[in-house]
Amino acid sequence: GFGPPPPPPPPPPPTGHDSSFHSLSGQEFNHLRRIEPLKIPDLWFSGDAVQLTSFLRAIPDLNGVPFILPALQTVESLLGGLIAIFGNKFSKENAKRALAACKQQNLTIGEYNAQFSSLIYLVKDVPENQIEKYVSGLNPCIVRKEMSKQWREA
């Protein structure tokens, strides 16, 4: 058995007149007859120069005034602006590198826990990866000693 045969293809659509379509009688558009056309002042600019000059009087003349964005004046201000908008990606990257380098070495387990916890908080990761990173940073001598003790007691 390969299972039931596939269902037959759907029948082609009828080629005759579609009875579900009805022509628009005009009643659907009666509401459009009651709408008034836009008056010239309602339009943004009709081509009348007087209308345009009155509009432009409200806009200050910026011709010749330098356009300066403070965030683009120095690299430091640009980085500060980017961090303010998008978050400190540099801090996250530094935390990832610090977490990869985080090893227990001669630290007590409590000191290692504190250091690891402060870094893992900054690096969002799934729990399985967190555990793997934690264990890989433990002092291998202590891990071997504890594992051999468990094997002897078993």
Give 123-152 pLDDT, tens digit per residue. Answer: 888 888 888 999 999 988 887 887 787 777
pLDDT digits (tens, 9 = 90+) for 101-119: 999 999 999 999 999 988 8
Q: Roughly what angle, to the nearest 10 degrees, separates helices 127-137 and 109-122?
A: 140
* Helix, coil or strand: residue 140: helix
pTM of the predicted protein model:
0.40
Of 5-9, 17-21, 84-88, 104-108, minimum mean pLDDT range: 17-21
Residue 42: the pLDDT is 52
pLDDT more than 90, % of the chain = 12
Residue 94: the pLDDT is 85
Sequence-distant (≥ 6) Cβ neighbours of residue 147 within 8 angstroms: none
In contact, 96 and 109? CB cutoff 8 Å: no
Check whether 35 has a pLDDT greater than 60: yes
- pLDDT-based confidence at 61, cuts 50/70/90? confident
Sequence-distant (≥ 6) Cβ neighbours of residue 143 within 8 angstroms: 135
Q: Which residue has the higher pLDDT, 103 or 64?
A: 103
Q: Shortest CA distance to 83 belongs to which of 144, 75, 62, 66?
A: 75
| Token reading at 24 | 């628009």
